[in-house]
Amino acid sequence: MQRTVSVVAPLCFRLQAQPLVQSRQLSCVQPGCPQDVLRRTPLYDFHLAHGGKMVAFAGWSLPVQYRDSHVDSHLHTRRHCSLFDVSHMLQTKIFGHDRVKLMESIVVGDIAELKPNQGILSLFTNEAGGILDDLIVTNTSEGHLYVVSNAGCWDKDLALMQDKVKEFQNKGSDVGLEVVDNALLALQGPTAAQVLQAGVTDDLRKMPFMTSAVMEVFGVSGCRVTRCGYTGEDGVEISVPAIAAVHLATALLKNPEVKLAGLAARDSLRLEAGLCLYGNDIDEHTTPVEGSLSWTLGKRRRTAMDFPGAKIIVPQLKGEVQKRRVGLVCEGAPVRAHSPILSTEGTVIGAVTSGCPSPSLKKNVAMGYVPFKYSRPGTQLLVEVRRKQQMTVVSKMPFVPTNYYTLK
């Protein structure tokens, strides 16, 4: 989408979002809207009232930041907790007796092994082994699979799942699909559980990372709370009826620990945590092994080789791949997506896919793809920024240690 820039986003986010003039005329909220009309979340007016600087992202109008600077917002999330509106994500339910079989026909993970209310990060793949999207699948105790996938892949993901449902139904299988028309709020940071506990009766100490439960949250019934997020910190994502989204956000903000945060902080936080942004760091031309996401491949699924692209992906686990996603810690000017990566001899060997200054480390960090022989941590390389070469070193990820909550 090409739009005139009128709000300057923080540097680390300029490649992920396209700023636009704030306008209350952008009212379309459904998939399939015209290209020049942005969808709104139920919190759109709430964001404007709180000083949100709205940008275009994946067809939605979302806040890139609020009154606090991007760096202050980022560091507040690391030290306290922040509230993010992620209602643009696609939420779906897959139900029916054959729901697990259906899901395993399009993802690489072992869905059958999930315990009630347990979830995993998985991948949609194609027959060439490429990644169509990353998603979270939760096996709910209510008898359906709860799926959350990326807004940028909304139409593609929904079509994939709907087509597969029709295929299974035509064969007599018991499956169905429902789009969940809820808002989705992410409360992220080391004090997130403490803040949320004040508004729920469930004991959050019994909910480890990647588990989920339906509960009443600050007086709003029917909320699905999942212990997950995309910042590397402890936190939750709350699927809340759209009509109650503003009430819940307002209730959470009453705690001084909580501040609103936007896309800019979300981007730098996920990069510090070594997490991929679909369309930048992984795409249909990247396999899970090349993307350093082999851990998403279920052991049973590897043996059975019964997921899309298995004939390409599984052999890569035992051999060298042509390229691999690596972390980079860089000297000099901040590194941006598309910056060339060079060997120390000056030969271009790859490209940066995400990069920004790390507010936590006060260093420049990035991700990119290099040939396998250059992927070992500690390998010295060069990156080209504004036609100047500067030193970089391959680094293990995450750059900042993750703080996911596990039962002791």
CATH of the domain at 333: 2.40.30.110
Answer yes or no: do 224 and 331 share one domain: no
In a domain, 382, yes or no: yes
Nearest to 235 by CA among 261, 274, 264, 216: 261
Q: Is residue 237 marked as binding?
A: yes
294 close to 263: Cβ distance less than 8 angstroms: no
Q: How many domains does the chain have?
A: 2
pLDDT score, position 398: 98
356 close to 12: Cβ distance less than 8 angstroms: yes
381 close to 328: Cβ distance less than 8 angstroms: yes
Distance between CA 110 and CA 228 in Å, rounded? 19
In a domain, 247, yes or no: yes
Handedness of CA 403, 109, 196, 259 (dihedral sign): positive
Distance between CA 352 and CA 328 in Å, rounded? 9
Residue 395: enclosing H or E segment and its boundaries? Answer: strand 388-395
Gyration radius of the chain's alpha carbons: 21
Which of 244, 271, 298 is at the close of a domain? 271
The DSSP secondary structure of 369-381, one letter per residue, reads EEEGGG-STT-EE
Answer yes or no: do 188 and 258 share one domain: yes
Mapped onto helix, strand or coil, the DSSP state of residue 95 is strand
Answer yes or no: do 360 and 219 share one domain: no
In a domain, 75, yes or no: yes
Distance between CA 91 and CA 93 in Å, rounded? 7
In a domain, 18, yes or no: no
**E strands, 150-229, in order:** 176-179, 182-188, 212-217, 220-226
Answer yes or no: do 260 and 328 share one domain: no
Answer yes or no: do 189 and 264 share one domain: yes
Peptide bond preceding 190 in cis form (omega within 30 of 0): no
Answer yes or no: do 84 and 186 share one domain: yes
Answer yes or no: do 356 and 244 share one domain: no
Amino acid occupying residue 43: L
Answer yes or no: do 267 and 326 share one domain: no
pLDDT score, position 2: 32
123 close to 307: Cβ distance less than 8 angstroms: no
In a domain, 68, yes or no: yes
Answer yes or no: do 258 and 200 share one domain: yes
Answer yes or no: do 248 and 353 share one domain: no
pLDDT score, position 36: 64
Measure the CA angle with vertex 30, ends 28 and 35; round to 5°: 60
Strand bridging mode 53-57 / 118-125? unpaired
For residue 133, give both structure tokens: 């999207």
Which residue ranges of the chain lie beneath pLDDT 70? 1-36
In a domain, 282, yes or no: no
Answer yes or no: do 187 and 84 share one domain: yes
Strand bridging mode 60-65 / 39-40? parallel
Answer yes or no: do 82 and 217 share one domain: yes
pLDDT score, position 91: 98
How are the residues of the chain apportioned to helix, strand and coil, as percentages rounded to the nearest 5? 25, 30, 45
For residue 197, give both structure tokens: 């506990």
Distance between CA 226 and CA 193 in Å, rounded? 11
In a domain, 55, yes or no: yes
The boundaries of the domain holding residue 67 are: 39-88+182-271
Q: Domain containing 54 — which CATH number? A: 3.30.1360.120
Q: How many CB atoms lie within 10 A of CB 118?
A: 16
In a domain, 57, yes or no: yes
pLDDT score, position 10: 39
